[in-house]
Structure 1
Amino acid sequence: MPSVYFSSKPTAMGVSLLSRSFFLFLFHFHSTLSSSSPPPLCAHHQSLSLLQFKQSFSIQTLPYDDLTQYPKTESWKEGTDCYFWDGVTCDLQTGLVTGLDLSSSMLHGTLHSNNSLFSLHHLCKLDLSYNDFSTSNISSRFGQFSNLTHLNLSWSSFTGQVPSEISHLSKLVSLDLSGNFGPSLEPISFDKIVRNLTKLRELDLSSVDMSLVVPDSWMNLSSSLSSLKLLDCGLQGKLPSSVGKLKHLRYLGLGLNNFTGSIPYDFEQLTELVSLDLSANAYLRPEPVSLYKIVQNLTKLRELALDEVDMSLVAPNSLTNLSSSLSSLSLFNCGLQGKFPGNIFLLPNLETLYLSDNEGLTGSFPSSNLSNVLSMLVLSNTRISLYLENDLISNLKSLRVMRLGNSSIIRSDLALLGNLTQLTGLDLSNNNLSGQIPSSLGNLIQLTNLDLSNNILSGNIPSSLFALPSLQDLDLHSNNLRGNISEFQHAILYYLDLSNNILSGNLPSSLFALPSLKHLDLHSNNLRDDEIWFVDCISEKIVMSMNMEEMKEIERAEGEDTEEVRDEPEDIKRIAPWTKQITARGIVASIAIGIIYSVIVSAALLAFVFLRTWTKLLSKAGIVTSPFTRQENTIVQTYAES
């Protein structure tokens, strides 16, 4: 690398450059003072069109948690130069708008065909992805942008038929209509697109309904294509061998369709391929020879997904020669049987490994020499054995997801899992794990999902689990866990299952202040309470239950109040009279809960706390009262939610 020296003495050339720069600065400063403002860099009529476009939409946050959203159009102000507006690109010579990038701009509303957007005839790049255009039809006027090279309308709630006018965009090199509300593409329109868009390098029509398109019509696809993604398009029939002629193809996604037969031998000619996704084609059945050749020839492959493809004819060792560049291998639920090749576990660039739900798949997962970038390991429902001990765990520092439910864990030291501080998901269910849940799991502050259900774990549940700041899903059902349930330190939990244990004591008060809770199951424990409460709320989908002894108590109480009618059908016999369904205490409770509900927590949980407190107070006052019946509970719940 050449050295760079700085001299303290200016050279003659340096003085000349400094003088010229200073002169230009003085000239610019003088001209600024002596003349009016310079003309705008963006033509005035283009600014007006953009402002009209802005006014036709509102700004709303979209439900994309993993997406950075920013309202770019808020920087669009009347009287300012649109050259400096967010997302706008102007040609400095003509002042015309040539690019519009409004991806993730929180736009909400209908995009009509008379929108001022379509007056920006000189657009070369247009990106409207990740907005909400309220199931607008894709306008045929998009076909008027004759200079377009890039068009992205993905994930923006478009629907209707893809207009054949898209085929007029002969300069397009990238077209993305994916992720919308099932727009459809007729065979004639598709044929026009593949015949006329000869410069296409990237085509993504995922989630576009192409069920009427015959795969053989792909033969006219641009030979320049480097990326072809047609996932979830309703495509059917045999995979077209003509795909093998796309020599420049690097990304091929054909998953979630209805392809049948085997993988064509021509696929082995796609030697530039780095990503191949044929997943969720349940009737696709690779032949051993064709798969072997694909594995042998696709030496640049980094991602391979054959999930839910019928690979029952394929021996796992046919995958032995997978590219050393492989970073992601996904083969779950594809009927693989036999010993999985051990060398794949040791691929140096492996980041993601999904082998779950292949119950006949055997092998031994190594404890050392693993990829130091392995982030997802999913071996659930396989017979691949492993030792969950120090040697292995110390080699998994980058792991984010570990799913080993119903696998073959030979020995384990669960306390060491607390060292995997990058974990966001951990599933060790159905493994006959014994001992106590280690408090070191409280170190996993990024953990969102924890499943230790269907084991024989004993002792108390560590309070550190209830303090995990990111935990949303906790499943510990069907163990031998004892003791009290600790207070919850964070309020984002939405799924909690502690059923079929030996837990005792009162429920923590913080349980009833979890605003996101959607599922709660506590049945078959020794928890103390004055009420059995079953809630199956359609709006909130909460399921709560207590111990069976209290349930029997209510059933006995209801039995005393039920009118028996011999001649009525069985399903009508045990209906309590209306005087037992609508009671004074039920009405008072309903009104109180309904008032408080508007400012506190969900009706289901609030009602539970209120009625429990009611019966406790009466009991302490020496007043004998029976628990609220199911009919009263229903009235209370209905009124509170209304």
Structure 2
Amino acid sequence: MGGICSRKRDQQVVEDGLRRGVSGRYSRCASTKWLGAASRSMSNHGAGRGSCPSLMELCIYKIREDIHKYSSFSILPRDISQQIFTELVDSHRLTDVYLEAFRDCALQDVCLGDYPGVHDGWMDVISSQGSSLLSVDLSGSHVTDNGLRFLKDCSNLQALSLDYCDQFSDHGLKSISGLSSLTSLSIRKSSKITADGMRALSNLVNLEKLNLERCSGVHGGFLHLKGLRRLESLNVGCCKCVVDSDMKAISGLTNLKELQISNSCITDLGITYLRALQKLTALDLEGCNITAQCLESISALATLQCLNLNRCGLSDDGFEKLSGLKCLKRLCLAFNNITDACLVHLKGLTNLEYLNLDSCKIDDEGLANLTGLILLKGLELSDTEVGSKGLCCLSGLNKLENLNLSFTFVTDSGLKKLSGLTSLKSLNLDARQITDAGLANLTSLSGLLKLDLFGARISDSGTAYLRHFKNLRSLEICGGGLTDAGVKNIKDIVSLTQLNLSQNGNLTDKTLELLSGLTALRSLNVSNSRITNEGLQYLKPLKNLLTLSLESCKVTASEIKKLQLTDLPNLVSFRPE
């Protein structure tokens, strides 16, 4: 939900724009499973409302505030020091000085993905956790080969993430080659890792998951993986250096279940080597230069459950060969030259739960082939020639939870045919031809959690229908001509966590006042409006707000920063910045 809300129809997702280095906490200690919840509740104490915090939460919060008074937490039980560490990271208060207090604390999880200022100087303290350390995330840090050598004594380390770290090289990999307990290793987008450096991975015999996405120098190094018999997941997506011979090198990894080779230089020949991977359940070939010939090789993978063929330039030829993949649950065919004729071959894939036909050349007639896919939960029809007539073919898909009809020819009247899809949780209707009347036809879908009306001609009076969606968590009405009067009908949808009202140029500070009661909001976008610095005061109750976008408004970054420091402790991203 960007500031100007622009939509580009034929555009690949740029992974760099996403939050990087975020990993789940990895711990064998059951008492740490509630760390996240504890941290969130502690950050709300300043509001003076809500449920009473536990004594432990109050203690952790007090220690965080007085962190400068303590020089060591090593005498505390590990669970307590772990909670203190996590709280300091979450609140962005961990510094070089405060880190020293955690030396020899036997921490299990050091999750510093994208944390600012992490460098080699931190590694001595991190490594002091010794055999207790199970998980380390240093994604986006400035750690070098010198820093990685400190990890060699952390013999029980099971998960290591070094995504987007561009300061270490093959020598750094050699430093961690002795960590034989590693089950998960991620080093995405590291241009300094070469085929020779991958030799160090041959010792990681317990590795189950390896992520080398966007590593541009790994061609030829896959022969060093042949001994990793436990490897189940391999990601070499967006590695233009990867070619057919690399697929031959990994064909002996017969325990592989997930393989991502998207946007590589693999051809039909490379796909033939994958026939040996008879346990493969997920295969991602998006953007690869393949033809209909490779579909025969893919058809031999009888256990396949997820197949991504987006942007492969395929036509209708050869898809009859996939009709035998009875285990298939997810199939992505977006941005290919397929027509209604291709959909005929999908009729037998009755276990499908997700189907992506974005930007394919299909229309209402083709949708008739989907009526038997009664297990479908997700269906992407964006940028197709589907219109209102074809929606009757979807009326029997009563398990459908996510439906994307953006940039189609569907009109208000066609939306009546969706009234029986009571399982729908997410509906995308980005289209100029949808108006208030169309919204009125959706009022039976009370279970909707997400509604996207980007570009729809929704007026102030039309927002009255939104009151029927009591469970709505995400709402987007961009450029719909709303005024403050229309926002009055949104202010009572207290379940909302994401709200995008950008490009409604008549919204004023009154809108922020009306939204001040939506305390569950985590993301708010009111860009391209008439909001001013004076209106920011109304955002103070929104303690859960993580992202705020007020681009092209009469708002300054300095005033938002003041608000962040005094009243919005969880705000991590804002525009203007």
TM-score of the aligned structures, taking structure 2 as reference length: 0.62
**1:370 matched to 2:377:** no
Counterpart Cα distance in 2 of 1:355 and 1:194:
38
Does residue 221 (structure 1) correspond to residue 225 (structure 2)? The answer is yes
Bigger proportion of residues as strand: 1
1:543 aligns with: 528
In 2 relative to 1, CA 495–486 (structure 1 residues): closer, same or farther, beyond 3 Å? Answer: closer
1:127 correspondence with 2:135: yes
Based on CA coordinates, which of the two structures has the bigger radius of gyration?
1
Residue by residue, what CA displacement relative to the aligned partner does 1:472-508 show, whole Å, maximum 9, x if unpaired?
Answer: 3125759xx99x8463423853234579xxxxxx978
Contact 1:346 1:371 in 2 (8 A): no
Give the deviation of 1:331 after TM superposition.
1.6
> Is the Cα–Cα contact under 8 Å of residues 381 and 405 in structure 1 kept in the other structure?
yes
Inter-partner Cα distance in structure 2 for 1:427 and 1:77: 53
Which of 76, 81, 86 lines up with 1:80 in the alignment? 76
Code of the residue aligned with 1:161 in structure 2: it is F
Q: What number of residue pairs does the alignment pair up?
A: 448
Distance 1:384 1:194, change over 3 A: farther
Are 2:382 and 2:404, in contact at CA under 8 Å, matched by a contact in 1?
no
Aligned residue identity for 2:280:
L
Code of the residue aligned with 2:293 in structure 1: it is V
TM-fit CA distance, 1:118: 1.9
Deviations 1:321-350 (A, max 9, x none): 22x221211121133345123463563432
**What's the counterpart of residue 577 of structure 1?**
none
Check if 1:303 corresponds to 2:285. Answer: no
Matches within 5 A, 1:120-519: 120-122=129-131, 126-129=134-137, 134-137=141-144, 139-142=147-150, 144-145=152-153, 147-148=155-156, 150-153=158-161, 158-162=165-169, 163-166=172-175, 168-169=177-178, 171-178=180-187, 182-187=189-194, 189-207=196-214, 210-214=215-219, 216-223=220-227, 224=229, 225-238=231-244, 240-257=247-264, 259=266, 263-279=270-286, 281=287, 284-295=288-299, 297-312=300-315, 314-322=317-325, 324-337=326-339, 339-342=341-344, 344=346, 347-359=349-361, 363-366=366-369, 368-372=371-375, 374-383=376-385, 392-403=394-405, 405-406=407-408, 412-414=414-416, 416-417=418-419, 420=422, 422-427=424-429, 429=431, 436-438=438-440, 440-441=442-443, 443-444=445-446, 446-451=448-453, 453=455, 461-465=462-466, 469-475=472-478, 485=486, 487-490=488-491, 493-496=499-502, 510-511=510-511, 513=513
SS in 1 for 2:221: helix
Check 1:466–1:109 CA distance in 2 against 1; reply closer, same or farther (3 A cut).
farther
Could you tell me how far 1:315 is from its partner in structure 2? 3.8
Which of residues 120, 136, 139 is equivalent to 1:112? 120
Identity %: 15
Q: Which residue of 2 aligns with 1:69?
A: 36
Deviation at 1:378, TM superposition (A): 0.3
1:151 is aligned with what amino acid?
A
Query: Kindly tell me: are residues 386 and 320 of structure 1, through their superposed partners in 2, closer, same or farther at Cα, counting changes over 3 Å?
Result: farther
Task: Say whether the 8 Å CA contact 1:176–1:203 is kept in structure 2.
Answer: yes
Residues 280 and 303 of structure 2 are in contact (CA less than 8 Å); yes or no, is this contact kept in structure 1?
A: yes
C-alpha contact (below 8 Å) 2:257/2:279 kept by paired residues: yes
> Could you tell me how far 1:299 is from its partner in structure 2?
0.9
CA deviations on 1:350-369 (whole Å, 9 max, x unpaired) are: 22211111226872345744
Amino acid at match of 2:108: L
> Which amino acid in 2 is paired with 1:363?
G
1:438 & 1:142 partners in 2: Cα distance? 62
The separation in 2 between residues aligned to 1:65 and 1:160, in whole angstroms, is 21
AA aligned to 1:461 is G
Deviation per residue, 1:429-480 (Å, 9 max, x gap): 367899653164385464434237579x9995241237855343125759xx
Q: What are the ranges of 5 or more consecutive residues in structure 1 without an aligned counterpart?
A: 1-60, 89-95, 500-505, 517-539, 546-592, 608-640
CA RMSD in angstroms, aligned pairs only:
4.9
CA contact (8 A) 2:281 2:305 kept: yes
TM-score (ref. length: structure 1): 0.57
Change (3 A) 1:465 1:79: same
